[in-house]
Structure 1
């Protein structure tokens, strides 16, 4: 298979399909009342509330505790990135007593691992930062209010679609509901999937499916509480995927990301591949 055909296959899957999915989402949700019909299932018109929104245990588990996964991933990547510079320093000064003791100790193995994966740590940091920045930009430049804030569900704001309010150069207003921020925090784990693809990990596609499920769970939890429409979750996944793909292409390049998945009986070491790709 020639280079042009492999390039086309990569971009058609990783860029073309998300764009097609965005078009379907736009037509199916943004141009219809499907979002509102789905949200109505969780709204009590008599009491004028979303009952699940008042369940504190549900709020704590699905909104506060759920952030642990992406938050800890980002924090561990930052710590790993800083510590990845420690081993080269120790090697340089290994003749000193302190550095020599550390180099010969059991701590050497994890420090070498951190050095080998330095590029991956920085990729995760940048991918998280870029996807967060994109979501915040879209929120502030569309000024969409959440369902509970609109007159449809007892609020004071008028319901609008994001494309009716979009402004490029300045904030559109105080609304901050589109795309879904809570769902985007889960979808930010797409970065871990691209790291898995870089090393051709056998279970990378399962990891991708898991991240998608996690994002849908995060997003749907907010939908049933009245704080998002269902399409907000889909748009969050689309924009986070595109921004993370851009970061992955910058750090790794298309050809590395498109390498065939390793087979389960492949004896080659993932760490060995990392040491070839990273420099001190």
Structure 2
């Protein structure tokens, strides 16, 4: 199997195969409900963990810090990347000297060098979030705690029963898991690491996947999602980050094995293929 075929088989084949498995195993059965039943108290008709303030604060509110700060740093880095090239030695020598003195010049040079990476993270986060919001609005799935199964007022329906391609399907906003998708957006950093063939890129991928699953599962324990919502969020965010990475970096750079030593000639040829700085 050629390198390109392996690349597509892994990056597209596995998530698409997982989508089929999740659809058959969860969406067409009652496994989701059976799993949520484990954390539901039929006597009080509540999910006990939904009322634990500390649990809610740590797993719901504080958990947003990691993806939020990452996105904000990427936006700041992208904006700063346009400043250094505008400073000319013959015109702005005093300003450049001042920036060097306060140690800001190296930051600006770093941002300029990695402009493409900062812009990629910004776009990957935005596209991933946009995809999740589109699916939420066009499937109108209600959260477990809002359904009659768990003391709510809305009948439970699967996403494919309400899906509407062109218009908002209703008021439900639970599928895919939005909170889980926030953790999964950190996968964008994995594709940046793959671009540079960083030896720990797989660890970054596993860490991002784990973060998304932790975010999603804690919301399941509180009755605000089904487990399948987390899987679907991971699948869609992975594909969004992957397609954005292909647009920014190209397959040739992303498919090079991370265990291979950097090749200067290859790096030079690939960097010259794009108009943005490395």
What TM-score range do you get, normalising by the shorter chain? over 0.9
Partner of 1:279: 277
Aligned residues: 273
Partner of 1:236: 233
Deviation per residue, 1:157-203 (Å, 9 max, x gap): 00001001100010000000000000000000110100000000000
Residue 91 of structure 1 contacts residue 103 of structure 1 at CA under 8 Å; is this kept in 2? Answer: no
- Residue 10 of structure 2 is aligned to residue 13 of structure 1: yes
Gaps in structure 2 of 5+ consecutive residues: none
Deviation per residue, 1:116-163 (Å, 9 max, x gap): 000000000100110100000000000000000000000000000100
SS at match of 2:168: coil
Normalised to the residue count of structure 2, the TM-score between the two structures is 0.93
Residue 197 of structure 2 contacts residue 262 of structure 2 at CA under 8 Å; is this kept in 1? Answer: no
Moved over 6 A (4+): 272-277
Partner of 1:87: 84
Residue 179 of structure 2 contacts residue 215 of structure 2 at CA under 8 Å; is this kept in 1? Answer: yes
Partner of 1:98: 95
CA separation in 2, counterparts of 1:21 and 1:93?
A: 57
Normalised to the residue count of structure 1, the TM-score between the two structures is 0.92
Residue 32 of structure 2 contacts residue 226 of structure 2 at CA under 8 Å; is this kept in 1? Answer: yes
CA separation in 2, counterparts of 1:267 and 1:142?
A: 45
Query: How far off is 1:221 after superposition?
Result: 0.4
Query: How far off is 1:82 after superposition?
Result: 0.5
After superposition, the Cα gap between the structure-2 partners of 1:103 and 1:88, relative to the gap in structure 1 and judged at 3 Å, is: farther
SS at match of 2:116: helix
After superposition, the Cα gap between the structure-2 partners of 1:114 and 1:93, relative to the gap in structure 1 and judged at 3 Å, is: farther
Gaps in structure 1 of 5+ consecutive residues: none
